[in-house]
Amino acid sequence: MFKKILVANRGEIAVRVLRACREMSISSATVFSDADRTALHTRYADEVYHLGPAPAAESYLRIDKIIEVAKRAKVEAIHPGYGFLAENTGFAEACEASGIVFIGPTSKAIRLLGDKIISKKTMSDVGIPVIPGSGGAVVDESEAQTMAKQIGFPVFIKAAGGGGGKGMRVVREMKELTSAMKQAVSEAQSAFGNPTVFIEKFLEAPRHIEFQILADHHGNVVHLFERECSVQRRHQKLIEESPSAIMTPDLRARMGQAAVQAVKASNYTNAGTVEFMVDKNRSFYFLEMNTRLQVEHPVTELITGIDIVKEQFKIAAGQRLSIKQDGIRMNGAAIECRISAEDPENNFAPSTGRIVEIIEPGGPGVRIDSGVYEGFEVPIYYDPLIAKLLVWATSRDQVIKRAKRALKEYSIRGIKTSIPFHLLVMNTPEFIKGEYDTTFIDKVLGKVKYKKENHEVAAIAAAIGRILKEKRAKISEAKKEAGVNPWKLSARQMGLRNM
């Protein structure tokens, strides 16, 4: 096993990986930008190295600087977390060239799977169902128009180079195509430095279900069941759960087999996620493969008892998988709520600033993976995800109740967070019954108002607040007029004492 690992990330995921290092007695190093001098990960690692200014392009995305740090710190391996350089072929190559182990797949596998066009073809060639589409880059508007006509509306414009909801547009009519294409290309360029887009059929009301996989360097591949990720806003996941409410043993077996096949077809190693779309008839289609540790990986950890980060370390160190497919058991149900610094009551507007107070939930079945602390200033430069609330219980019914209970205990002051959104979802009948798909937020929650029942108390509190404020103002005014400065008074008393 490695003696020392560099975690090239920030926030909750850096802390998550650092925790695994500590539990395995591996020395750790991490990196930080100017905005993260006091961040939690910077305070957690054994060694910390400054990268540069706050913008990611000048710090967390600087391959040259990170490799330099890795050499200086004499680490044997680098864990990239998710986002930033996690799926960057150039970074994996730079690690390989420097003789440092990249804890993830090979650069070759990242390149293949990172290109959505090539990866789709690879999967379709081995018989895994894929969504009908352009099959290649769409260069200009006229080609887009021809393609859209061929596939039939609605169509989906997607960036070939990325994910996370950026560079994606749904187009329902021909007249929307030109502007949507422009927006997608410009977003793809600014987010991934690659303006290439492609077009595919847009499935109406699909579910988004993914399979976690582990693959070692000796040809062993296992899957750790599914995660249901259909609660999405603008293609960004907000809540994930396992098992999926629509899963049957037969469908799970078939999808799991397809996931393992996808891994083998792409010579993939380490931990990864195969994403599928599932339509109303429970037909599934390969969507893409995420060649990294996922934000929502703890959901799987809770139901299988397998520590995915530790497995990543072991695989990267060349060890054989110690687990076999038929030895992996699914126990109970788990839900993740992504806690982000956004105001759900104001169209998820970002909310940065100093966290004045945090009260975290506790009790049975609760896990918090957080990257912040009381007094921390949430920077404007990075992703708004600040923490993840994970709950486990014996059944789906119980885990929803537990999530609700934990969310009510959770209080973060000073910034707005997505906690009220999660509470709203946990109280929504469609979610409770498991009858939801990727249109859930727009169709079901779009019309729902945040539940508020304390208007009267708020009215009273506002008036009392006004009176208390005026009283405090009067007291400080009176003090000023009396000319008594408490510091002076104290100094005089001290002076007297010294006489």
Partner 1 sequence: MAYITKIDNKEFKVDLKQEGKDFKVYLDGKEIKVEVAHEQGAQLTLIVDDKPFNVILETDDLIVVAGESYNVEIFDEQVEKFMKASTGKSEKRELAVKAAMPGLIIEVTVKQGDKVTEGQGLLIIEAMKMQNEMQTPRDGVVKTIKVKKGQTVNSGETLIIIE
Please give the residue ranges that form the binding site for partner 1 (CB under 8 A): 166, 191, 341, 343, 345-353, 380-384, 408, 411, 413, 416, 419-420, 450-468
Q: Residue 77's closest CA among 312, 268, 254?
A: 312
Q: How far is the CB of 88 from partner 1 (least distance, A)?
A: 16
Q: What does each C-alpha distance from 184 to 125, 142, 168, 188, 446 come to in angstroms?
A: 28, 16, 6, 6, 24
Q: How far is the CB of 451 from partner 1 (least distance, A)?
A: 8
CA distance 476 to 134: 70
The residue among 61 and 213 lying less far from partner 1, judged by its C-beta, is 61
Q: What does each C-alpha distance from 194 to 92, 115, 161 come to in angstroms?
A: 18, 11, 6
For 309, phi then psi, to 5°, come to -65, -40
CA distance 161 to 182: 16
Q: What strands lie across the sheet with 270-278, from one edge to the other?
A: 284-290, 270-278, 207-215, 221-233, 236-242, 333-340, 385-393, 366-370
CA 394 to chain centre: 25
Neighbouring C-beta atoms of residue 412, cutoff 10 Å: 23
Contacts 24+ apart (CB under 8 A), 176-179: 177/141, 177/144, 177/145, 177/148, 178/141
The residue among 174 and 475 lying less far from partner 1, judged by its C-beta, is 475
Q: How far is the CB of 445 from partner 1 (least distance, A)?
A: 14
Q: How far is the CB of 442 from partner 1 (least distance, A)?
A: 15
Active-site option among 292, 338, 396, 402: 292
The residue among 52 and 353 lying less far from partner 1, judged by its C-beta, is 353
CA distance 170 to 147: 14
The residue among 100 and 441 lying less far from partner 1, judged by its C-beta, is 441
292 is catalytic: yes
| SS3 (DSSP) at 53 | coil
The residue among 311 and 383 lying less far from partner 1, judged by its C-beta, is 383
The residue among 126 and 448 lying less far from partner 1, judged by its C-beta, is 448
DSSP string, 362-387: -STTEEEEES--TT-EE-SSS-SEEE
Q: How far is the CB of 430 from partner 1 (least distance, A)?
A: 22
Q: How far is the CB of 273 from partner 1 (least distance, A)?
A: 21
Catalytic residues: 292
